[in-house]
Protein backbone atom coordinates (compact mmCIF):
# COMPACT_ATOMS: atom_id res chain seq x y z
CA UNK A 1 0.00 0.00 0.00
CA UNK A 2 2.96 2.34 0.52
CA UNK A 3 3.69 5.06 3.03
CA UNK A 4 0.76 7.30 2.10
CA UNK A 5 -1.82 4.62 2.85
CA UNK A 6 -0.18 3.51 6.11
CA UNK A 7 0.14 7.13 7.27
CA UNK A 8 -3.54 7.82 6.61
CA UNK A 9 -4.47 4.57 8.37
CA UNK A 10 -2.44 5.63 11.42
CA UNK A 11 -3.92 9.14 11.31
CA UNK A 12 -7.58 8.13 10.94
CA UNK A 13 -8.71 8.82 14.54
CA UNK A 14 -6.92 12.18 14.75
CA UNK A 15 -8.21 13.09 11.27
CA UNK A 16 -11.79 12.52 12.42
CA UNK A 17 -11.12 14.79 15.46
CA UNK A 18 -9.75 17.70 13.41
CA UNK A 19 -9.24 17.86 9.63
CA UNK A 20 -12.52 16.08 8.86
CA UNK A 21 -14.53 19.20 9.76
CA UNK A 22 -12.62 21.47 7.40
CA UNK A 23 -12.62 18.89 4.60
CA UNK A 24 -16.41 18.58 5.03
CA UNK A 25 -16.78 22.34 4.41
CA UNK A 26 -14.50 22.15 1.40
CA UNK A 27 -16.45 19.16 0.05
CA UNK A 28 -19.68 21.15 0.27
CA UNK A 29 -18.10 23.99 -1.69
CA UNK A 30 -16.73 21.57 -4.29
CA UNK A 31 -20.09 19.78 -4.64
CA UNK A 32 -21.71 23.06 -5.75
CA UNK A 33 -19.69 22.75 -8.97
CA UNK A 34 -20.67 19.19 -9.95
CA UNK A 35 -20.82 19.24 -13.76
CA UNK A 36 -23.79 16.82 -14.00
CA UNK A 37 -27.12 16.53 -12.22
CA UNK A 38 -26.31 14.82 -8.93
CA UNK A 39 -29.89 13.75 -8.21
CA UNK A 40 -30.05 9.95 -8.58
CA UNK A 41 -26.46 9.85 -9.90
CA UNK A 42 -24.14 6.91 -9.26
CA UNK A 43 -21.20 8.58 -7.52
CA UNK A 44 -17.66 7.35 -6.89
CA UNK A 45 -15.89 9.10 -3.99
CA UNK A 46 -12.30 8.62 -5.18
CA UNK A 47 -9.67 8.89 -2.44
CA UNK A 48 -12.65 9.20 -0.11
CA UNK A 49 -10.89 9.39 3.22
CA UNK A 50 -13.72 9.54 5.75
CA UNK A 51 -16.24 10.12 2.97
CA UNK A 52 -17.16 13.79 3.37
CA UNK A 53 -17.39 14.41 -0.40
CA UNK A 54 -19.69 11.40 -0.81
CA UNK A 55 -21.80 12.77 2.07
CA UNK A 56 -22.07 16.13 0.27
CA UNK A 57 -23.28 14.29 -2.86
CA UNK A 58 -25.76 12.23 -0.87
CA UNK A 59 -27.20 15.46 0.59
CA UNK A 60 -27.73 16.56 -3.02
CA UNK A 61 -29.73 13.41 -3.79
CA UNK A 62 -27.10 11.06 -5.24
CA UNK A 63 -28.63 7.66 -5.96
CA UNK A 64 -25.62 5.74 -4.67
CA UNK A 65 -22.15 6.52 -3.35
CA UNK A 66 -19.20 4.14 -3.44
CA UNK A 67 -16.09 5.19 -1.52
CA UNK A 68 -12.61 3.98 -2.50
CA UNK A 69 -9.36 4.74 -0.69
CA UNK A 70 -5.93 3.23 -0.06
CA UNK A 71 -6.41 3.51 3.71
CA UNK A 72 -9.06 1.17 5.14
CA UNK A 73 -9.13 2.92 8.55
CA UNK A 74 -10.11 6.21 6.90
CA UNK A 75 -13.01 4.76 4.93
CA UNK A 76 -16.56 5.56 6.03
CA UNK A 77 -18.81 2.90 7.44
CA UNK A 78 -22.43 2.68 6.19
CA UNK A 79 -24.31 4.21 4.47
CA UNK A 80 -21.54 4.40 1.86
CA UNK A 81 -20.29 1.26 0.20
CA UNK A 82 -16.56 1.32 0.86
CA UNK A 83 -13.68 -0.51 -0.70
CA UNK A 84 -9.92 -0.37 -0.44
CA UNK A 85 -8.33 0.43 -3.79
CA UNK A 86 -5.79 2.49 -5.69
CA UNK A 87 -6.96 5.32 -7.96
CA UNK A 88 -4.64 4.10 -10.71
CA UNK A 89 -6.18 0.58 -10.70
CA UNK A 90 -9.83 0.89 -9.80
CA UNK A 91 -11.80 -2.31 -9.19
CA UNK A 92 -14.82 -1.12 -11.23
CA UNK A 93 -16.09 -1.76 -14.75
CA UNK A 94 -16.04 0.90 -17.48
CA UNK A 95 -18.77 3.51 -17.03
CA UNK A 96 -19.89 2.16 -13.65
CA UNK A 97 -20.49 5.70 -12.33
CA UNK A 98 -22.10 8.92 -13.55
CA UNK A 99 -19.75 11.12 -11.53
CA UNK A 100 -16.38 10.70 -9.84
CA UNK A 101 -15.54 13.11 -7.02
CA UNK A 102 -11.86 13.41 -6.13
CA UNK A 103 -11.58 15.74 -3.14
CA UNK A 104 -7.95 16.50 -2.31
CA UNK A 105 -6.79 13.10 -3.53
CA UNK A 106 -5.29 13.85 -6.96
CA UNK A 107 -2.75 16.17 -5.25
CA UNK A 108 -1.11 13.03 -3.84
CA UNK A 109 0.15 12.18 -7.32
CA UNK A 110 3.27 13.71 -8.87
CA UNK A 111 1.45 13.14 -12.16
CA UNK A 112 -2.36 13.27 -11.81
CA UNK A 113 -2.91 12.08 -15.41
CA UNK A 114 -2.84 8.28 -14.70
CA UNK A 115 -5.54 8.43 -11.97
CA UNK A 116 -7.56 10.82 -14.16
CA UNK A 117 -7.43 8.34 -17.04
CA UNK A 118 -8.71 5.66 -14.67
CA UNK A 119 -11.47 7.95 -13.32
CA UNK A 120 -12.52 8.75 -16.88
CA UNK A 121 -12.70 5.02 -17.63
CA UNK A 122 -15.14 4.36 -14.77
CA UNK A 123 -17.15 7.64 -14.64
CA UNK A 124 -18.88 9.96 -17.09
CA UNK A 125 -17.84 13.15 -15.29
CA UNK A 126 -15.34 14.40 -12.75
CA UNK A 127 -15.27 17.06 -10.05
CA UNK A 128 -11.99 17.40 -8.17
CA UNK A 129 -10.36 19.73 -5.68
CA UNK A 130 -6.87 20.62 -4.54
CA UNK A 131 -5.05 23.36 -2.62
CA UNK A 132 -4.17 26.39 -4.72
CA UNK A 133 -0.39 26.57 -5.12
CA UNK A 134 -0.08 30.02 -3.57
CA UNK A 135 -2.25 29.20 -0.56
CA UNK A 136 -0.68 29.08 2.89
CA UNK A 137 -1.70 29.55 6.52
CA UNK A 138 0.78 30.63 9.21
CA UNK A 139 -0.32 27.79 11.54
CA UNK A 140 1.46 25.31 9.25
CA UNK A 141 5.01 26.52 9.86
CA UNK A 142 4.31 27.54 13.45
CA UNK A 143 3.05 24.08 14.47
CA UNK A 144 5.79 22.36 12.44
CA UNK A 145 8.35 24.31 14.48
CA UNK A 146 6.77 23.15 17.75
CA UNK A 147 6.76 19.56 16.49
CA UNK A 148 10.40 19.82 15.35
CA UNK A 149 11.41 20.83 18.90
CA UNK A 150 9.94 17.49 20.01
CA UNK A 151 11.84 15.48 17.41
CA UNK A 152 9.42 15.50 14.46
CA UNK A 153 10.91 15.02 11.02
CA UNK A 154 8.76 15.49 7.94
CA UNK A 155 8.08 12.07 6.37
CA UNK A 156 9.59 11.62 2.95
CA UNK A 157 6.26 11.09 1.15
CA UNK A 158 5.02 14.45 2.44
CA UNK A 159 8.26 16.25 1.68
CA UNK A 160 8.08 14.96 -1.92
CA UNK A 161 4.46 16.09 -2.23
CA UNK A 162 5.44 19.53 -0.93
CA UNK A 163 8.40 19.85 -3.27
CA UNK A 164 6.06 19.36 -6.24
CA UNK A 165 3.97 22.48 -5.68
CA UNK A 166 0.22 21.92 -5.69
CA UNK A 167 -1.11 22.18 -9.24
CA UNK A 168 -2.84 25.43 -10.16
CA UNK A 169 -6.17 25.51 -12.02
CA UNK A 170 -4.42 25.61 -15.41
CA UNK A 171 -2.14 22.68 -14.53
CA UNK A 172 -5.03 20.54 -13.33
CA UNK A 173 -7.11 21.43 -16.39
CA UNK A 174 -4.18 20.49 -18.65
CA UNK A 175 -3.91 17.10 -16.91
CA UNK A 176 -7.65 16.49 -17.40
CA UNK A 177 -7.33 17.26 -21.10
CA UNK A 178 -4.34 14.94 -21.43
CA UNK A 179 -6.42 12.24 -19.70
CA UNK A 180 -8.99 12.63 -22.49
CA UNK A 181 -11.66 14.67 -20.67
CA UNK A 182 -13.68 17.33 -22.51
CA UNK A 183 -15.57 20.46 -21.33
CA UNK A 184 -12.80 21.02 -18.79
CA UNK A 185 -13.24 23.94 -16.36
CA UNK A 186 -11.09 24.93 -13.41
CA UNK A 187 -10.91 27.88 -11.03
CA UNK A 188 -9.96 28.89 -7.49
CA UNK A 189 -12.62 29.42 -4.82
CA UNK A 190 -12.10 30.61 -1.24
CA UNK A 191 -13.67 28.37 1.40
CA UNK A 192 -14.21 29.46 4.99
CA UNK A 193 -13.73 26.16 6.79
CA UNK A 194 -15.19 27.40 10.06
CA UNK A 195 -11.95 26.50 11.86
CA UNK A 196 -10.95 29.63 13.79
CA UNK A 197 -9.95 28.96 17.41
CA UNK A 198 -6.46 27.91 18.49
CA UNK A 199 -7.94 24.50 19.43
CA UNK A 200 -9.38 24.12 15.90
CA UNK A 201 -6.15 25.15 14.17
CA UNK A 202 -4.07 22.73 16.23
CA UNK A 203 -6.58 19.89 15.75
CA UNK A 204 -6.14 20.52 12.02
CA UNK A 205 -2.34 20.49 12.06
CA UNK A 206 -1.99 17.53 14.47
CA UNK A 207 -4.63 15.49 12.66
CA UNK A 208 -2.93 15.47 9.27
CA UNK A 209 -1.55 12.18 7.96
CA UNK A 210 2.07 13.36 8.07
CA UNK A 211 1.91 14.57 11.71
CA UNK A 212 -0.72 12.42 13.48
CA UNK A 213 1.31 9.15 13.59
CA UNK A 214 4.23 11.05 15.22
CA UNK A 215 1.94 12.70 17.78
CA UNK A 216 0.19 9.41 18.58
CA UNK A 217 3.55 7.77 19.33
CA UNK A 218 4.54 10.42 21.93
CA UNK A 219 4.20 9.68 25.64
CA UNK A 220 0.89 11.12 26.95
CA UNK A 221 2.50 13.96 28.95
CA UNK A 222 4.68 15.04 26.01
CA UNK A 223 1.66 14.86 23.71
CA UNK A 224 -0.16 17.27 26.04
CA UNK A 225 2.85 19.61 26.08
CA UNK A 226 2.99 19.62 22.26
CA UNK A 227 -0.71 20.49 22.08
CA UNK A 228 -0.38 23.28 24.69
CA UNK A 229 2.70 24.77 23.00
CA UNK A 230 1.04 24.58 19.57
CA UNK A 231 -2.15 26.24 20.83
CA UNK A 232 -0.06 29.04 22.35
CA UNK A 233 1.78 29.77 19.08
CA UNK A 234 -1.35 29.80 16.87
CA UNK A 235 -3.44 31.85 19.29
CA UNK A 236 -4.73 34.95 17.47
CA UNK A 237 -3.93 33.66 13.97
CA UNK A 238 -6.45 34.30 11.18
CA UNK A 239 -9.31 31.85 10.59
CA UNK A 240 -8.70 28.96 8.23
CA UNK A 241 -9.92 30.12 4.82
CA UNK A 242 -8.61 27.85 2.07
CA UNK A 243 -7.97 28.83 -1.54
CA UNK A 244 -9.25 25.69 -3.26
CA UNK A 245 -8.79 24.70 -6.88
CA UNK A 246 -11.94 23.13 -8.31
CA UNK A 247 -11.82 21.14 -11.54
CA UNK A 248 -14.78 19.83 -13.49
CA UNK A 249 -14.73 17.73 -16.66
CA UNK A 250 -16.87 15.44 -18.78
CA UNK A 251 -15.91 12.20 -20.52
C1 LIG B 1 -6.26 14.73 1.91
S2 LIG B 1 -7.13 13.21 2.06
C3 LIG B 1 -8.74 13.68 1.48
C4 LIG B 1 -9.80 12.70 1.87
C5 LIG B 1 -11.23 13.07 1.46
N6 LIG B 1 -11.41 13.00 0.02
C7 LIG B 1 -11.65 14.41 1.99
O8 LIG B 1 -11.85 15.33 1.20
O9 LIG B 1 -11.74 14.53 3.23
C10 LIG B 1 -6.49 12.25 0.69
C11 LIG B 1 -7.00 10.83 0.63
O12 LIG B 1 -6.54 10.25 -0.59
C13 LIG B 1 -6.17 8.91 -0.34
N14 LIG B 1 -5.23 8.47 -1.38
C15 LIG B 1 -3.99 8.96 -1.62
N16 LIG B 1 -3.43 8.29 -2.65
C17 LIG B 1 -4.35 7.37 -3.08
C18 LIG B 1 -4.37 6.39 -4.10
N19 LIG B 1 -3.31 6.19 -4.89
N20 LIG B 1 -5.48 5.63 -4.23
C21 LIG B 1 -6.55 5.79 -3.40
N22 LIG B 1 -6.60 6.72 -2.41
C23 LIG B 1 -5.51 7.49 -2.26
C24 LIG B 1 -5.56 8.95 1.05
O25 LIG B 1 -5.49 7.67 1.66
C26 LIG B 1 -6.50 9.94 1.76
O27 LIG B 1 -7.56 9.30 2.42
pLDDT at 84: 94
pLDDT at 163: 58
Q: Which fold has domain 2-135+164-195+240-250?
A: Rossmann fold (3.40.50)
Nearest CA to ligand 1 atom 13: 47
Q: Does the predicted TM-score (pTM) go above 0.85?
A: yes
pLDDT at 156: 86
Counting from 1 in the atom list of ligand 1, the atom nearest the Cα of 5 is 25
User: How confident is the model over 209-233, as a mean pLDDT?
Assistant: 96
Helix (H) or strand (E) holding 117: helix 113-122
Q: What separation in Å is there between the alpha carbon of 13 and the centre of ligand 1?
A: 15
Going from N- to C-terminal start, the domains of the chain cover 2-135+164-195+240-250
pLDDT tens for residues 136-184?
Answer: 999 999 999 999 999 999 988 887 766 567 888 999 999 999 999 999 9
CB distance 74 to ligand 1 below 6 Å: yes
pLDDT tens for residues 10-69?
Answer: 899 999 999 999 999 999 999 999 999 999 999 999 999 999 999 999 999 999 999 999
pLDDT higher than threshold 60 for residue 196? yes
Amino acid sequence: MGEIGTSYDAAAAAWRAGPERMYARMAEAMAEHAPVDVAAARVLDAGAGTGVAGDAMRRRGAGSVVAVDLASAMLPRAPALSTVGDLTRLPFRDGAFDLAVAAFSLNHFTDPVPPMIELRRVAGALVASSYAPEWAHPAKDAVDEVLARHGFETPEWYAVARADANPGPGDLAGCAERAGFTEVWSDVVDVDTGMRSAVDLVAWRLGMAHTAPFVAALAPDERLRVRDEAEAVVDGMPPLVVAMVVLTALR
